[in-house]
Amino acid sequence: MKTSVIGAGVMGSGIAQVFAQAGHSVLIFDVNPNVTQKAIQRITSNLNKGIELGKLSEEDRDLCLSRISSTDQISEIKADLIIEAVVEKLEVKIELFRKLAESNSPDTILATNTSSIPITQIAAGVPNPERVIGVHFFNPAHIMKLVEIVSGAHTDPMIAQRCYDLIKETGKTPIMAKDAPGFIVNRVARHYYVESLKALEENVADHETIDKLLESSGFKMGPFRLMDLIGVETNFSVTESMYNLFYQDEKFRPSRIQKQKVDAGHFGRKTGKGFYDYSS
């Protein structure tokens, strides 16, 4: 199966790696060629880490990389499965899928990696909405096992099953989910971030202490370290989306502190600074 990933950021490159390691020919698209170049470098670094840990051979790495190509021309995107991992904005995703629909078969599966935008809303603006589906990976995509397969009101059940089987073949653990705000994981996990941010706003403790407390309670990574890994701006966007989808329910209220980080461009590890400083 020919696969294409739209968006060469941390999530997009991780998704591309997953499919390439599973034997797919993968074309990565980004409007910025420098971003796609960094994506290839990131994938190479991930694979080299796998070799160091004894999980991969050099031959495995070279085979994986040989299956990956890149482009900055959207007209070159022609695939059986297209997964977008772009900015969390409804209008951007709809416009992207409309463009891709023009140059691809009506049978091409258009999958979105959105964390919270309703699949039904995206599909409603796209030709042949029955082939639009959520295939939601978690960061880092090449490591995290869980993938949500999210069906909107239009999604063909056969497409959902096909994606479920396909993801299972990559070695991931797919689950079927309905099109509800935040789907399953983000709805449940949102309060891990929101309540931690509220505690910070109310000066209950500083962010390092909150992280240490939750990590000592059994969580692998504290909420502030995790937000820095995911991207503070991405995490904020998801919270804002869910807040609106739940009609401004106070329990999903976005944090002023997090908004200030976003305004300052302190997105976490990707920018060298978030709740923690990564510049040194």
User: Active-site residue among 84, 88, 148, 233?
Assistant: 148
pLDDT digits (tens, 9 = 90+) for 253-263: 999 999 999 99
User: Active-site residue among 24, 136, 207, 266?
Assistant: 136
Region 144-162 average pLDDT: 97
CA 112 remoteness from chain centre: 9
User: Active-site residue among 113, 115, 116, 196?
Assistant: 115
pTM (two decimals): 0.89
115 given a catalytic annotation: yes
Task: Please tell me what DSSP assigns to residue 165.
Answer: H
pLDDT digits (tens, 9 = 90+) for 196-233: 999 999 999 999 999 999 999 999 999 999 999 989 99
User: Active-site residue among 46, 151, 186, 255?
Assistant: 186
70 given a catalytic annotation: no
Q: Is the pLDDT of residue 139 over 90?
A: no
Packing angle between helix 223-230 and helix 232-245, nearest 10 degrees? 100
pLDDT digits (tens, 9 = 90+) for 36-87: 999 999 999 999 999 999 999 999 999 999 999 999 999 999 999 999 999 8
57 given a catalytic annotation: no
pLDDT given for residue 5 in this prediction: 98
Region 165-172 average pLDDT: 97
pLDDT digits (tens, 9 = 90+) for 16-28: 999 999 999 999 9
Domains, the chain, ranges and CATH?
Answer: 2-178 (3.40.50.720), 186-271 (1.10.1040.50)
148 given a catalytic annotation: yes
